[in-house]
């Protein structure tokens, strides 16, 4: 009987460890999202520089006689569009970073809770019942 409890406990401890390890892998997903947010931030910075460069180009084109005036407005409009996109990308980068960090932290907590739950929920009631009934079973075996 004692060996049965040990085997039962070891099986459920192994299952709990497996669940812990599997859920904890979500930390990697969170880290990937945080890393992606860095790339988005860099893309946003590049877009800001591109918009600034287009504004400088439109200023230079404004001084070209006959042609420059017609080109300034579309170049500035493109610069405005690029800067709006840069703001959106930067906002997305901030949200991605926050969500990635939250996922990373939540994965650790969830892994511990789920791992313990999977291991202990089947072990504890069985062990308590076994420990309560063990003296009765031992007496019956001794009497026979």
Quick one: which H or E segment has residue 54? helix 26-62
**Residue 73 has what pLDDT?**
86
Predicted structure pTM score: 0.67
| CB crowding 62-89: b at 16 or more within 10 Å, else e | eeeeeeeeeebeebbebbeebbebbeeb
pLDDT above 70 (res 1): no
Tens of pLDDT, residue by residue over 57-110, are: 888 887 777 666 678 888 899 999 999 999 999 999 999 999 999 998 899 999
| Cα distance between residue 97 and residue 92, in whole Å | 9
**Residue 134 has what pLDDT?**
86
CB atoms within 10 A of CB 58: 19
pLDDT above 90 (res 116): yes
């Amino acid at each position: 009987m004692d060996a049965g409890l040990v085997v039962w406990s070891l099986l459920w401890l192994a299952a709990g460890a497996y669940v812990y390890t599997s859920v904890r892998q979500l930390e990697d997903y969170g880290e990937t999202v945080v890393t992606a947010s860095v790339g988005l931030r860099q893309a946003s910075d590049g877009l800001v520089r591109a918009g600034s460069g287009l504004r400088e180009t439109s200023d230079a084109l404004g001084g070209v006689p006959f042609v420059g005036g017609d080109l300034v407005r579309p170049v500035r409009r493109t610069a405005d569009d690029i800067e709006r996109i840069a703001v959106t990308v930067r906002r997305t980068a901030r949200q991605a970073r926050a969500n990635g960090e939250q996922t990373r932290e939540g994965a650790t907590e969830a892994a511990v809770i789920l791992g313990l739950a999977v291991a202990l929920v089947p072990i504890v009631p069985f062990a308590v019942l076994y420990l309560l009934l063990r003296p009765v079973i031992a007496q019956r075996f001794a009497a026979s």
